[in-house]
Amino acid sequence: MATSFIRAVDCLSLPVPDLDEALAFYRDCLGHRPIWRTASSVGLRLPESEAELVLHTDERRPLAAELRVDAVPDAVERFRGAGGSLVAGPFEIQIGRCAVVADPFGNTLVLLDASKGRLRTDADGHVVGVSPPAPRPDAALFESVAPLLAVDELKGALDYYQRVLGFGVAWTWGEPTYLASVCRERVELTLGERGKAGPPGPSRVYIRLQGIDAYHERVREAGAEIATAIGDRPYGMRDFGVRDPSGNQLDFGQPIEGAGDG
């Protein structure tokens, strides 16, 4: 099977005739908070996604899901070689390059890269420039992390993480089983029986999420030991911590709305 070159959904791109009119609808009526703004575009937050809702007045960019790639020219070549077609571009955008392509089924997609860097904003969210991309000493692309937590007894730990914290079991290993993975959305934790896998003592991990208050109530009602009471912190997060039956502490946090706006 071929290696994927599409890294992530960067945004849903919506062409509009006037930014202020579009903001009156998407921000004021629908409640999407602006993250950044230029003279011709504005990025709005989608609360449960790293992708953005981007409103713009650039006629070259159609209504489309904009997909992030490492390098647009290479991605266009791969796309065309697989049977897709080039509709427009590649052309320069503020953070890098962009191209409009179509798959063999008539779907229009936008490919973009951040070869010039990331948008830099002032305290009011206005774009003031582009921060150059950080140099990478190699071609590795870090995608996720799965901390390994040592537990006293795996069967009981799996019951706790499913019943109390709402995780699902992704895989188990060993005969008898001494290692397992539990997942929820994009978060993966590896659980290993102490003495067979993992550190000798308890560990601590911090997990970012949305919906912190509802989740706190859910795990409290399910019997979780609350190690750190829920509250707003001076570092811009609303968070709380639980301690699992093996002594590991899991902290759950959500950014406080407007905490970084200056």
Q: Which residues does 206 contact at the CB level (< 8 Å), separation at least 6?
A: 239, 251, 252, 253
Same domain, 97 and 207: no
Same domain, 125 and 162: no
Flag whether 139 is in a domain: no
Flag whether 137 is in a domain: no
Same domain, 228 and 168: yes
Same domain, 29 and 119: yes
Same domain, 183 and 250: yes
Same domain, 12 and 122: yes
Strands (E), 27-176: 34-37, 41-45, 52-56, 64-69, 85-92, 97-102, 108-112, 118-121, 127-131, 148-151, 168-173
Q: Which of 91, 86, 102, 84 is nearest to 60 (CA)?
A: 91
Q: Which of 162, 157, 60, 43 is nearest to 111 (CA)?
A: 60
From residue 130, how far is each of 39, 69, 118, 235 by CA, in Å? Answer: 15, 18, 5, 25
* Helix, strand, or coil (residue 30): coil
Structure tokens at 43: 């990025």
pLDDT at residue 133 in the model: 74
Mean per-residue pLDDT pooled into runs of 10, the chain (262 residues): 76 91 92 89 88 88 85 88 89 89 90 87 80 62 75 95 93 90 88 88 89 90 94 90 94 79 46
Same domain, 104 and 209: no
Same domain, 46 and 115: yes
Flag whether 217 is in a domain: yes
Same domain, 65 and 174: no
Q: Which of 131, 158, 185 finishes a domain? A: 131
Flag whether 172 is in a domain: yes
Same domain, 95 and 168: no
Flag whether 186 is in a domain: yes
User: How far is it, in rounded angstroms, from Cα 32 to Cα 43?
Assistant: 9
Flag whether 50 is in a domain: yes
* Helix, strand, or coil (residue 19): helix
Q: How many domains does the chain have?
A: 2
From residue 153, how far is each of 158, 177, 194, 196, 245 by CA, in Å? Answer: 9, 10, 8, 11, 9
pLDDT at residue 114 in the model: 87
* Helix, strand, or coil (residue 205): strand
**Residue 22: HSE in the Cβ half-sphere, 13 Å Cα cutoff:** 19
pLDDT at residue 137 in the model: 52
Flag whether 111 is in a domain: yes
User: How far is it, in rounded angstroms, from Cα 33 to Cα 9?
Assistant: 19
* pTM, entire model: 0.49
Same domain, 125 and 155: no
Q: Domain of 41: which CATH number?
A: 3.10.180.10
- Range(s) of the domain holding residue 169: 148-255
From residue 124, how far is each of 36, 53, 94, 230, 260 by CA, in Å? Answer: 8, 18, 19, 29, 10
Q: Which of 69, 99, 131 finishes a domain? A: 131
